[in-house]
A and B are shown apart, each in its own frame.
Chain A
Amino acid sequence: MAVSRDNLVAWIEALQQVYNENKEYLTKLDAAIGDADHGINMNRGFTAVKTELESNPPDNIASVLKSVAMTLIKKVGGASGPLYGTFFLRASTAVTGKEELDAAAVVSMFETGFSGIIQRGKAEVGDKTMVDAWTPALAAMNEALDSDASLKEVLEKGAAAAEQGMKDTIPLQAKKGRASYLGERSKGHQDPGATSTCLMLQKAAELWS
């Protein structure tokens, strides 16, 4: 399949439910190595996103992403607000004028969005952040694209790699964000931001198939 404007909106609206259902889980993860607000932040952000998309429905793919970005920037705060906000803002620039996204366009949308996360947060692989979920996910998606996989396969590979990357954050010592204040004590816990990223990609893989 190719992703239409409506498919994109369906994904975003589903994310509202995902973050609502995982609010306590993400907040618990953040309580262990941060300040116990990541689930609350994501739930607040995507609830506002859904309301905004319903009351002012944008008519194309790029403007949907831009609307999501502006709402997240305004409503989330914390580190994840500017990071995910910048992600969606950049992602929108990769799909300007497109009515449908094939597998390559979806990956390019994620990749461009991810470059915004790097620019804003300056984290590197291994710093125990959402970057540790995005990086293997994008590598796996690009690899699948190269072997002419379908969108479904590309996203499944990406989601699986994100999940592995998320789990691989457990032994890491955090070097960015609030968790870095803990030093050695940040080891042994899964990063909340890597987890919210993984949930995002899993939902895309589930819906866009």
Chain B
Amino acid sequence: MKKIINNPDDVINESLAGVAAAHADLVRVEYDPAIIVRVDAPVQGKVGIVSGGGSGHEPMHGGFVGMGMLDAACPGDVFTSPTPDQMEAATKAVDGGAGVLHIVKNYTGDVMNFEMAAELAQAEGTNVEAVVIDDDVAVQDSLYTAGRRGVGATVLAEKICGAAAERGDDLKTVADLCRKVNANSRSMGMALTSCTVPAAGEPTFQIGEDEMEIGIGIHGEPGRERMKVKSAKEIVGMMSEAIVSDLPFNSGDSVIAMVNGMGGTPLIELYLVYNELNEFLKEKGITIARNLVGNYITSLEMAGCSITLLKADDELLELWDAPVLTPALRWGE
């Protein structure tokens, strides 16, 4: 294992300390239990938005804490769900009297831990709603699986729900919007290399120099198929076809498109992917109304990318354009 760290056991805390030092104007960090909280939380009268998940996906979620997005994030160990005491502390810290929305990615661990946290917070009188994100088309959503995984749509949902909460929408409205974003989003990822969890010390999986994994998850979980590496055009074609045919997205649709890096792929390649995606969608009569290109939901140092499309209407675009000020996403005003 080759990483710029001091000690595998200290990675999370030392990285959190860096976040606290770099972004003291936007967030504060608490360590026991570990949470990243918007500096002016709780905002009175505003719905609080909490998300969280395993670490190793930075900037998600901690990098999205701030005005117009999350009120708090709960970082778990690398690739491991955070625990209910973190989520309960985060919920309490952001409860401005209008209730709290939990945005949960669909992984068994995350769902069960957030469920326990919601029970604890509700027992103490905080109104909590939870929305589970499950946008990954690589996994069949059937009775025989734990359902589709939550991936890129989480970033879009956090931005859009954050804007809705900021303008004063109530808990039910914000939660309904979150469900709407999830219902209209689909994603798919691919990997060229594996990643190494610091505490494990070895790559999560083996992959040949000339191979790629299509449909990879954000924790190095295998996807749909292992195959020889293909051209960017073919790769984007395979992923986009799976996404577009799943919802389905139709000619005339307008979308928010995210081309996301898994952590080890340079921007030069991500923009190349965006170009292919743009061509592919044009061909289908689908317009990209807004886009995001960069590393937003990563998998440590894995090389690879994912594509997320959200079918957008005027309401979603207005919320997308609303100002946001967080360590990793900021625009407007």
Interface residues in chain A, defined as those with a beta carbon under 8 Å from any beta carbon in chain B: 27, 31, 34-37, 40-41, 44, 73-83, 85, 120-121, 173, 175-178, 180-183, 185
Contact = CB atoms under 8 A, between A and B. Distances in A.
A74 to B, nearest CB: 5
Nearest to A72: B83
B182 to A, nearest CB: 18
Interface string B70-82: 0000001111111
A94 B221 CA distance: 38
Interface of B: 33, 54, 76-85, 107-109, 112-113, 115-116, 139-140, 143-146, 149, 197, 199-200, 204-205, 217, 219-222
B81 A81 contact: yes
A41 B112 contact: no
B112 A79 contact: yes
Interface secondary structure of B, over-half rule: loop
Contact of A178 (B197, B204, B221): B221
Interface secondary structure of A, over-half rule: helix
B67 to A, nearest CB: 29
Contacts of B112: 79, 82-83, 120-121
B84 A177 contact: no
B220 A82 contact: no
A78 B204 contact: no
A82 B81 CA distance: 10
Contacts of B139: 181
Given A121-B108, A121-B112, A178-B146, A37 B33 contact: no
Contacts of B199: 37, 40
Given A77-B76, A176-B146, A178-B221, 8 more contacts: A35-B79, A37-B197, A44-B77, A74-B85, A77-B109, A120-B115, A121-B108, A181-B222
Given A181-B149, A183-B145, A36 B197 contact: yes
A85 B120 CA distance: 14
A35 B108 contact: no
Nearest to A27: B200
A73 B109 contact: no
B170 to A, nearest CB: 30
A171 to B, nearest CB: 16
Given A81-B109, A181-B146, A181-B149, A34 B221 contact: yes
Contacts of B205: 31
A185 B139 CA distance: 13
Contact of A180 (B33, B54, B80, B146): B146
18 contacts: A27-B200, A37-B77, A37-B80, A40-B199, A73-B83, A74-B83, A76-B83, A77-B54, A77-B76, A78-B81, A81-B109, A82-B84, A82-B116, A121-B112, A177-B108, A181-B149, A182-B221, A183-B144
A178 B113 CA distance: 15
A183 B76 CA distance: 26
Given A79-B109, A82-B84, A180-B145, A37 B79 contact: yes
A52 to B, nearest CB: 13
